[in-house]
Amino acid sequence: MIKEEMVNRVALAVSDTVLNVANLTGGYSIIINSNFAYVDAVNDVNFYAKNDEVLGIAGESGCGKSTLLKILYGYTKPPLIVKKGNVILKINEQTIDILTLKDRTSIWWRYISYIPQNSMNVLNPIQRIREHFIETIRTHIDVDIDEAYKMAREYVESVGLSKEILNAYPHQLSGGMRQRVVITLALMLKPRVVLADEPTTAVDVVVQRGVLQMLLDKQRELRNTLILVTHDMGVQAMVTNRILIMYAGKGVELGATNDIFEDPLHPYTKALIESLPRIGDKTLRRGLAGQPPDLINPPPGCRFHPRCSYAMDICRREEPPIIKIGKERFVSCWLYVKR
Ligand SMILES: Nc1ncnc2c1ncn2[C@@H]1O[C@H](COP(=O)(O)OP(=O)(O)OP(=O)(O)O)[C@@H](O)[C@H]1O
Ligand SMILES: [Mg+2]
């Protein structure tokens, strides 16, 4: 029975996908007290992203969201290593495995772009903003500096920013404006997939709204795919079409946002939603007790079992399979395995 219910992980994808991620496993090879250790940050993660959607990735701090995004982008340099898996990007009838691609810079910006966590600090402090734009344009489009500068001016104005910012150095702009510049750069070449890692966390609430709106407006205009990492379940509820919930390096639930909020399946997803404040409800929200595990030495079986009030014997011993529950709904939990 278990076998029938288990999903063939490589074939998890549905049609109309732009990104298929299968068995993805990677982490950090580090040295602690002169001994080698491995941080098992992303372990056998499977999901897909469709054309023209906003896919959210949620989970507590340290559960591997940023590591996953770095691997998806192919931004893997030591100590980050990929152990196995595929990240298949489908562009113009072509399929590209990002992890085996020799020259990843050929797809960066143009087909897939990445807005890193704390990205307001990624701009080169000794380069004016215009040089960032000119360099990005000229890496992918065969134009001279004057033409690239003209394109940058037109583009910056088209997204509602003043072209004066092109003459500024990063430190002369506010954090929110630097964040907008990074996002504008990432979207300039109309990539099919945009990976945004906590794009609103480091800015104040008013700026957050503008930054998020800018990302969403562009997604609607380009009809591309925005993969939005945020631990903020309120933002997830408002802007995403589907959500991947991560816990301790594992993908534990995947489904349509409405389904996930109306009927969360995984006990961890239930806890995340339970901790959200609700208008008019004055009772203290129940938080989730305990801490996520140390990923150098994660617990055996289901990684959530030490914090799970439904934990059974098997949860302590064996990893749960991925179970398909209805159309496009997946959960990795022994509670849903018929035995
Ligand atoms: N450069 C690094 N070297 C070693 N371990 C790392 C490194 N970066 C992250 N880690 C570890 O990898 C695990 C996953 O971290 P990651 O940053 O991917 O989590 P996250 O979900 O993005 O967290 P947050 O919400 O705080 O941004 C954590 O245990 C973290 O300590
Ligand atoms: Mg992170």
Can you give the pLDDT at residue 285? 64
Q: Which helix (H) or strand (E) holds 96?
A: strand 94-97
Q: Is 153 in the pocket of ligand 1 (CB under 6 A)?
A: no
Closest by Cα among 298, 338, 291 to 319: 298
DSSP 29-69: EEEETTEEEEEEEEEEEEEEEETTEEEEEE--TTSSHHHHH
Confidence at 201, pLDDT banded by 50, 70, 90: confident
DSSP 181-240: HHHHHHHTT--SEEEEESTTTTS-HHHHHHHHHHHHHHHHHHT-EEEEE-S-HHHHHHH-
Can you give the pLDDT at residue 151? 94
Domain that holds residue 185: 119-190
Can you give the pLDDT at residue 9? 42
Which residue has its alpha carbon closest to ligand 1 atom 16? Answer: 64
Is 106 found in the same domain as 228?
Answer: yes
Is 65 found in the same domain as 89?
Answer: yes
Which residue has its alpha carbon closest to ligand 1 atom 7? Answer: 28
Residue with tokens 């409405």: 258
At which of 167, 190, 213 does a domain end?
190
Q: Is residue 77 part of a domain?
A: yes
Is 140 found in the same domain as 123?
Answer: yes
Q: How far, in Å, from the CA of 20 to the mean position of ligand 1?
A: 23
Q: Is residue 269 part of a domain?
A: yes
For the record, the structure tokens of 109 come out as: 């910006």
Q: Which of 29, 38, 45, 67 to probe ligand 1 with, by most ligand atoms within 8 A of CB?
A: 67
Q: Is residue 215 part of a domain?
A: no
Angle at the Cα of 288 from the Cα atoms of 2 and 291, rounded to 5 degrees: 90
Look at residue 32 and tell me whether its pLDDT is greater than 70: yes
Look at residue 12 and tell me whether its pLDDT is greater than 80: no
Lowest mean pLDDT: which of 103-112, 196-205, 213-222, 233-242? 196-205
CATH code: domain of residue 104: 3.40.50.300
Is 98 found in the same domain as 82?
Answer: yes
Q: How far, in Å, from the CA of 12 to the mean position of ligand 2?
A: 25
Q: Is residue 50 part of a domain?
A: yes
Q: Which of 66, 228, 297 to probe ligand 1 with, by most ligand atoms within 8 A of CB?
A: 66
Q: Which residues pair with 320 in a beta bridge?
A: none
Is 314 found in the same domain as 228?
Answer: yes
The predicted model scores a pTM of 0.94
Is 237 found in the same domain as 105?
Answer: yes
Q: What percent of the chain has pLDDT over 90?
A: 79
Q: Is residue 75 part of a domain?
A: yes
Can you give the pLDDT at residue 7? 47
Which residue has its alpha carbon closest to ligand 1 atom 28? Answer: 62
Can you give the pLDDT at residue 121? 83
Q: Which helix (H) or strand (E) holds 251?
A: strand 250-256
Q: Is 300 in the pocket of ligand 1 (CB under 6 A)?
A: no
132 phi, psi to nearest 5 deg: -60, -45
Q: Is 43 in the pocket of ligand 1 (CB under 6 A)?
A: no
Is 77 found in the same domain as 10?
Answer: yes
The gap from C-alpha 188 to its chain's centroid, in whole angstroms, comes to: 20
Q: Kindly state the DSSP code that residue 97 receives in the 8-state scheme.
A: E
Can you give the pLDDT at residue 279? 67
Q: Is 28 in the pocket of ligand 1 (CB under 6 A)?
A: yes
Can you give the pLDDT at residue 122? 87
> What is each CA distance from 188 to 109, 118, 198, 212, 318, in whole angstroms?
8, 20, 20, 16, 46
Q: Is 41 in the pocket of ligand 1 (CB under 6 A)?
A: yes
Q: Is residue 173 part of a domain?
A: yes
Can you give the pLDDT at residue 6? 47
Residue 283 CB-density burial (10 A; 0-12 exposed, 13-18 middle, 19+ buried)? exposed
Confidence at 227, pLDDT banded by 50, 70, 90: very high
Q: How far, in Å, from the CA of 81 to the mean position of ligand 1?
A: 13
Is 181 found in the same domain as 293?
Answer: no
Is 252 found in the same domain as 107?
Answer: yes
Is 328 found in the same domain as 228?
Answer: yes
Q: Is 291 in the pocket of ligand 1 (CB under 6 A)?
A: no
Is 127 found in the same domain as 102?
Answer: no
Q: What's the CA dihedral at 326, 332, 334, 338 to 10 degrees?
A: 30
Number of structural domains found in the chain: 2
Q: Is residue 306 part of a domain?
A: yes
Residue pLDDT, tens place only, 146-185: 999 999 999 999 888 999 999 999 999 998 899 999 999 9
Q: Is residue 226 part of a domain?
A: yes
Is 101 found in the same domain as 14?
Answer: yes
Mean pLDDT of the chain: 91
